[in-house]
Structure 1
Amino acid sequence: MFEFPDVRFNLGDYAEAVVQWLRETFSLLFDWIFQVGVSTINGINDGLELIPWWLFILIVIALGWYLQRWISGLLYGLFLFIIGTFDYWSEMLTTLSIVMSAVLVCLIIGVPLGILMAFSKWFSIIMRPILDAMQTMPSFIYLIPAIFFFGLGNVSAIFATIIYAVPPVIRLTELAIRGVSPSMVESAQSFGSSKGQTLWKVQLPQAVPTIMAGVNQTTMMALAMVVIASMVGARGLGEDVLIAINTVNFSLGFEAGLSIVFIAIIIDRLTSGVADKIQKHRRVAA
């Protein structure tokens, strides 16, 4: 039997040194990000809690009715009502606050990066293996730098969620921009439009349905991180699932898990409905 040479390449030590250097060098930046993150989550959560439960359910029913069918809206309203009967309404709002904060940051980061990848072949070549690594790396690994930079809490959860969930919106934004008909771009430029005007008035409007598909995937991946993020102190439904696992409480785990499933279904269908509506309006306009 052949034995591998007794050689140890301590790549992990170098990675740890880089993270340590980042924390010491940019401590003020990370502190500022922490404060902004806390303010954003608390602001969204406070805003959601101001909405009475019955009005929140009516809004979701109306959205489901408008974006899909009336029976879909009633079903989504029933899902929310069931979550309320589980006494998880507050936890659900906290989970939504974390997911919405993470998705908002993913869009702020992901859409511009996707546009840059669409316009720069070299930037796209550099970014693709990075995005591959972000999507294939075990999601638990992201919790380590999150704790190191921000400690335990919701901000660490958002940090880890962003790394895990941002690749789809970047990839689909690039795909959407590249997929715009070259003839439409050439026509806009022939009428004197600059690259910026062509992007804003032609390419982005045409790319919106595909970008919305990226938003949908990013949102679902952010929601999938809810339970994992609870390991770094994130509140919400994921925390109840984690408690159920630690205490082998099937009842608690079933109700909290089912609540996450209901939220995932509602978010998935509503975001898909927005993309479908945009696509229909495009066809009518055409």
Structure 2
Amino acid sequence: MILTKLPIGLWVEFIVEWAQIHLEWLFDFITMVIKLLVSGIETIFLAVPPLIIIVLVFILVWFVANRGLAIGTAIGLFLIQNMQLWEASIETLALILASTALALVMGIPLGILTARSDFAHKLMMPLLDFMQTMPAFVYLIPAVLFFGLGQVPGLFATVIFAMPPTIRLTGLGIRQVPAELVEAADAFGSTEWQKLVRIQVPLALPTIMAGVNQCIMLSLSMVVIAAMIGAGGLGTEVLAGLSRIDIAKGFEGGLAIVIMAVILDRVTQSLTEKRKIKV
């Protein structure tokens, strides 16, 4: 018995084409907002001399984490500057900061919703599984169709790829808050908003910060993939090295990505550990 193939791909293609025609105004608005956000971040960082940024980051990391990490951060940033990849690194950082901010703005409220509603939790989990297991390259297809080439589709694909851990860990953190504390708040007449803001979110913050950390790391992992559709940054350096079989160029671009990843990872981990100590 031969089963008829379901035209799932054609259905998705129809939805994408419909969205292109009827939601063009929305995509144009999103493009404008994202371009302003990313270009604004780039302009701010590029307007300041690299040496001043390195010194400021050194002080900030020392304050947030410790002296050893601050020294390692400064050495890593000096190395990026020495490899003449500072501007590309700023482009990548702007993309990461913008995509992480958008992922958190959407992901944390959705995570809170999944924690407070069993229906939302059951509905959201399969969708998150789908988002996390779908190959990252697949996200580039609708991103290019909706937004063309450049940083905007790269950021769009990055947000979709990096948002699931934020939703999962936010919901998990709030669900793990001891029921006794919530009941005590109820006994004192706290509203739902007061319980959320004063009890659940503060106690869940270490888990939420772990979600932020994963979000940043996944955003960085999309750097090279996003460069394939013109997102720029360090991914372009790696992609150029790959296409030209230029080992030196590819390695230097990859090393700069690793340096940024280690710095961001250690800083966010330090914030999480400090929060756990306070709690």
Determine if the TM-score, normalized by the shorter chain, exceeds 0.5. yes
Q: Which residue in 1 is equivalent to 2:236?
A: 239
Q: How many residues end up aligned between the 2 structures?
A: 279
Is 1:182–2:167 an aligned residue pair?
Answer: no
Q: Which residue in 1 is equivalent to 2:51?
A: 54
Deviation string 1:154-206 (CA, Å, 9 cap, x unpaired) is 00000000110000000000001101111111111111111111101111111
- C-alpha deviation, 1:43, in angstroms: 0.4
- C-alpha deviation, 1:268, in angstroms: 0.2
- With normalisation by structure 1, the TM-score equals 0.95
Q: Which residue in 1 is equivalent to 2:101?
A: 104
Q: How far apart, in 1, do the equivalents of 2:68 and 2:115 lie?
A: 40
Match of 1:122 among 106, 114, 119: 119
Q: How far apart, in 2, do the equivalents of 1:73 and 1:171 lie?
A: 31
How many percent of aligned residue pairs carry the same amino acid?
41
Q: How far apart, in 1, do the equivalents of 2:178 and 2:22 lie?
A: 45
- Tell me if structure 2 keeps the 8 A contact 1:67–1:273: yes
Q: Which residue in 1 is equivalent to 2:11?
A: 14
Which residues of structure 1 form unaligned runs of 5+?
none
Q: Secondary structure at the match of 1:208?
A: helix
Match of 1:251 among 248, 252, 255: 248
- With normalisation by structure 2, the TM-score equals 0.98
- C-alpha deviation, 1:267, in angstroms: 0.4
Structure 1 outlier segments of 4+, above 3 Å = none
- Tell me if structure 2 keeps the 8 A contact 1:61–1:77: yes
Match of 1:79 among 76, 80, 84: 76
- Tell me if structure 2 keeps the 8 A contact 1:227–1:241: yes
Q: Which residue in 2 is equivalent to 1:135?
A: 132
- Tell me if structure 1 keeps the 8 A contact 2:65–2:271: no
Q: Which residue in 1 is equivalent to 2:149?
A: 152
Q: Which residue in 1 is equivalent to 2:163?
A: 166
Q: Secondary structure at the match of 1:192?
A: coil
Q: Which residue in 1 is equivalent to 2:204?
A: 207
Q: Which residue in 2 is equivalent to 1:271?
A: 268
Deviation string 1:215-273 (CA, Å, 9 cap, x unpaired) is 00000000000000001110100011111111100000010000000000000001111
Q: How far apart, in 1, do the equivalents of 2:116 and 2:18 lie?
A: 33
Which residues of structure 2 form unaligned runs of 5+?
none
- C-alpha deviation, 1:13, in angstroms: 0.4
Deviation string 1:138-168 (CA, Å, 9 cap, x unpaired) is 0000000000100000000000001100000
Q: Which residue in 1 is equivalent to 2:226?
A: 229
Q: Secondary structure at the match of 2:4?
A: coil
Match of 1:32 among 29, 43, 54: 29
- C-alpha deviation, 1:6, in angstroms: 6.3
- Tell me if structure 2 keeps the 8 A contact 1:245–1:253: yes
